[in-house]
Every structure is written in structure tokens, then in C-alpha cells.
Amino acid sequence: MYPSRRRVLQAAGVAAFATVTGRTAWLQLVKGRDLAEQALAERTETWVNRALRGRILAADGTVLAASSVSYDIGVNQGLISQYEHYVFHDDPETGERTAELVGHGAAEVAAQIAPLLGVDAQELGALMVGNSTYVVIADAVNPEIWRQIKALDIHGIEPDQHPHRSYPAGKVAGNIVGFSYEDPPRVLVGANGLEYSQNEVLTGIDGRGSVERTPGDVNIPTGHHEEVEAVAGTDVRTTLDADLQTVAQQAIDEVVTAQGAEWGCVVVMEPSTGKVLVMADSNAMDPSDPLASAPQDRGSRCVEAVFEPGSVGKVMTFAAALEEGVVTAGDTFTVPDTWTAANGQVFEDSHEHEVQRLTAAQVLAESSNVGTVQIGERVSDERRHHYIEAFGYNQLSGIELPGESSGLLSDWTEWDDRTRYTTMFGQGVAGTALQSAQVLATVANKGVRVAPRVIDAFIAPDGTETLQPRAQGVRVISEQTAAALTEMLIGVTQEGGTAEAASLDGYLVAGKTGTTEILTGSGTVASFVGFVPARDPAIAVAVVVNRPSGTYGGTVAAPVFRKIALAAMHSLGIAPDPLVIAAQAAAEADAQATAQATAQADAG
């Protein structure tokens, strides 16, 4: 061989060796990790363990919303066709283990699974024959059945987990609970109510699993295997009384139907803690079928719908006058049915009457607009504006619900000659039913406003409870003013007051009616807000009915208050006051005697 030719071959050999060496080095040093990871991925089967969404509970533990997981069972028909079912036998003498093939393919898989699913094995086997990589053979299988199928360890069976949200209480507090939907698929997301506002808390953490298998579909004993369990979401326990909520929903539905009203709502809260026991909307939404309700019926009007409080607003005017020391309950006023202010604005009472001489307490009991503006003008506009805000208007309460409105209240410097007076009797200012409830709850709580809340505690998956911290109260009026105003509000529900229909046998009730003409269209908003027992308050209640056929809060809303308040007294175990019973009996006897004497005089 010529030397030059030998050198060429040697050079080619060296080059080939260098290429192979370089390629090997490149594969090992540069691409080795990527290739190893690719190989691992190809022989690894993975899955997701879906986390349960946290529950929503009533105060007594009644389940308002719960979650579960079901499984759609699918099969890879190609893998199922390769399945072989072996039974292993151990020789007791030699200790040797032998494998016996007892079946293979779709027929054998179906024979094992059909009894668990409660279906015919032949029909099930037929679904497994073909070349599809995924065919559903059973849907909505419960977790226990899936665990039994999974224990068979048949490669080619592929579960698809589906989270489900259920609402066992139906429409009870449906607008407060809200609803959920899947977005993205297999993940529940809250919409409306607590489902929305507490979505992050309620959402759990998905787990995962993976296992390495050989090309022959056998678990690799020394291979990678991981199982991370899902962590359920946190439960949310509300302050709601499920039984009382049911009573309130029925009561507000009945009056809305009877009055042909557009809607109504009820709020019941504990004045001293801010806990909301009831937040009921008429025509409540069923969370399991939210689309059956109109969009405007899916939220909570208790915190979303804004209206002028009307005569309920007089409570704030009287509170301001009493607190500022410009009036006492016994001060008297000359009250005609029509009165002209110094700036020329004319105001009228709801009905014609002779000129009366009324105390401040009587002005409130009879809900006289004329008397109220005479009292209200003794307080500067700036100070009255301060008290309106202090009672909770023109600000969010912070309740744990979406869509809350802060209401409408312009700055006092923007009030015109008429608005400065109309704000004295609850017009020219607007708020929600919750804000109306806060006004009376503040008076009931000896002048301290406590922020309302509808969540009592968060319960972690391990059972650990975290109570919601009690809000710090804000003093609005003095304890003395609150006590004086309470006595005046008791007169509203007594004989001669505008809300006799709100009185309860055996209990003293303090409250105020409200009737407001709706400026954008015809009709009125009829309301009653009160607390009971008046001198040792347990609850404050607001009832609002929008556009009823009736006119006044005393005839439309007060009877609803009476029904709900009486149920609450029974539910809370508050017994009637014997002294009140005796006083009411005496007053009734006097009334009957007076009526009898009048009848006899007329007959004579």
C-alpha cells in the first residue's frame, strides 16, 4: 500500500473515531440528561388527584354546599388487547412460584370489572375492543368503586376525575352561598355569594401520582413511584341560622306574592356581635340550578339594592338632635299638616290633620315629617351629615359578600335648599337593607356600631378552627342617647304608633317604619326596621318590600317583622317577659272597656 494511501486511511480512521467519541461525549455530557428525562417520561404514567372544594356551613353545621369527586372510567383499547392476567402459585414443598395465564384481552378485563360496575361482562367487553386510545366504559363512578378497580392494577384503564358541587339545603340562603362552575374543565370556580368571595379559601390543592412501567406494562419495582394526596379546601362556617333563614324566606316570599311586589329582602343580625343570622331574598336562587333564576335574582339585594330609607332615616335625625343636646324626648312642638321652612320649602305630613301639639317622642311615633324637620333644623347640616355616615351610610360595611353597595350620600356642602331638609326624613340619601339594619342595631347596642359579618369561622382540613375576629365597635351616640331613643322607638310599635302590627305578645319591640316614593318610576319602598327585646336586644331586623301594592311600611313590612322576630325569640330561647305580658293584658282590657263604654254611650 502506498504511504500516501495509508495516511489517508489512518486519517479517516482517526476522524471516524473522533466523530464517534465526540458524538458519544455529546450524548452523555450534553444531551444525556434530556434523553434520560425523555425516556423516563415515555415509561411513566401520571395522573392528578383532584382536591375537594371546602364546604359552606350554617352556624349549626348544616351543610349548605359540599363537594365530591366521581370518576369516568376510560380504557385504551390497544393496551387492553395486550393485557394478560396471571395467577401465581407457590409450591409448598419447593417454594417455587409458577405463573398461570388465566385470561387475556378485553374479555378478561371485562370479567374482572363488570361485577364491580354492576353491568353485563359481554357488553362491557365489547366496548373495550378496537384501536381507540380512550373510550369511556362507565361514567360518574363513585370513589369506592374506583378504588376497587384501581386495585386490579390493569394498565390501560384510565380514570378521569370530575369534581361535583352539591347544595343539600336547596334554596336556603342560596343567594348568600352563591354557586360554582368548572373553569377550566375539572376545576370548580366560585361565582356569586360566598362561593365567589371565598373562592381562594374554599379551593384545595390538587395532588398527583406517577409510576414507571416496562414496555410489557409491568410496574418497575425499583422505578420511580410517587403519590401525593390532594389537600381539601378550607370549610367556611357562616353565622346563618338555617331554620330562621327558612322562616324568613317563606315570609318575604309570601308578602311579595300577596302585594304583587317586585322583590323583598330581610336582614337579621345580632347588634352586639355583628353576626348576621338571616339574609333572605325573595325568589331565592337554587345554587344547583342558577340559570333557572334571572340574573338580577342571583345576587343578594340585601347588600346590593339601594333605596331611600324614608322614615327609617328619621332615627338618625333624632339621634343627632338628642346627642347634640338640642332636643329631649319631652320637648313639645306645634305640628300642622303643612309647614313652610324659612327658605320657602314646603313640607307635608302623609295625611291631613288638625294642628297638633306633640312631644318629640310623639313626633317619632307618628312619623311626622313636619315635626321631624322642625327638630332636624336645630342641628347643622355638617353635623347631621357626620351622624349619617357614622351610622354606616356612604361606606362599605365590609361584609364578606361581593357586590356590596356603599349607598349614595352627597357632601353636605352640595345639598340644595330642599335636600338639606329631605335628608332629615330619609330622602336624598340612599343605602341598602343591611345599612338600615345597622342603624337600629347601633341604637340597640347602646350607641356602638359593630360591623356586620356572615362568616363565623374557617375550618382547616385537619379540623382546626380559626374564628373570625370580632370587629371593634365604633361609638356613634352615647349610651344615654341610645337609651332615650330606644324608649321613643318603643312608642312606634305601641297603640297610636305607625307600627302596631310589629308588636309581639310578651315582648317589647323598638322600631321604625319607612315609606318612600320611588323617584325613577311609580310605587314605593315599604320597610320596617326594629329590635327585640327592646330593653335587652338580641336581634335587629330589617324588612324591605319594593313596589308593593300597599303603601306603608307599617302595614306591609311590619307584619313580616313580627313573624320573623317571634320565630327568632323561640329559636334563641328568649322567654316572654311576664311584666310585658301583664302590661299588654292591662292595656288590652282598658281598650276593651273604653270601646264598650263608647258603644254604650252611642247606643244611649
Grid cell at residue 195: 362561593
pLDDT at 258 over 80: yes
The DSSP bridge partners found for residue 72 are 160
d(CA 46, CA 181): 26
What is the predicted pLDDT for the residue at 26? Answer: 56
What is the predicted pLDDT for the residue at 284? Answer: 96
pLDDT at 330 over 60: yes
Band (160; pLDDT cuts 50, 70, 90)? confident
Q: What is the DSSP string of 135-150?
A: EEEEEEE-HHHHHHHH
What is the predicted pLDDT for the residue at 531? Answer: 97
The better pLDDT of the pair 182, 64 is held by 64
Per-residue pLDDT tens digits for 224-237: 667 788 899 999 99
Residue 407 Rama label (left phi>0; alpha psi -120 to 50; beta): left
pLDDT at 312 over 90: yes
Domains and CATH numbers, the chain: 72-81+96-158 (3.30.70), 242-573 (3.40.710.10)
Grid cell at residue 81: 388487547
The better pLDDT of the pair 217, 144 is held by 144
Per-residue pLDDT tens digits for 471-528: 889 999 999 999 999 999 999 998 888 888 999 999 999 999 999 988 777 899 999 9
Grid cell at residue 581: 305580658
In the chain, what percentage of residues exceed pLDDT 90? 66
pLDDT at 408 over 80: yes
Per-residue pLDDT tens digits for 243-254: 999 999 999 999
What is the predicted pLDDT for the residue at 46? Answer: 72
pLDDT at 38 over 70: no
Residues 6+ apart with CB under 8 A from 575: 506
Q: What is the mean pLDDT of the chain?
A: 89
What is the predicted pLDDT for the residue at 242? Answer: 97
What is the predicted pLDDT for the residue at 583? Answer: 82
The better pLDDT of the pair 113, 43 is held by 113
What is the predicted pLDDT for the residue at 90? Answer: 85
Query: Which of 241, 281, 280, 267 minimizes the C-alpha distance to 573?
Result: 241
- The pTM of this model reads 0.85
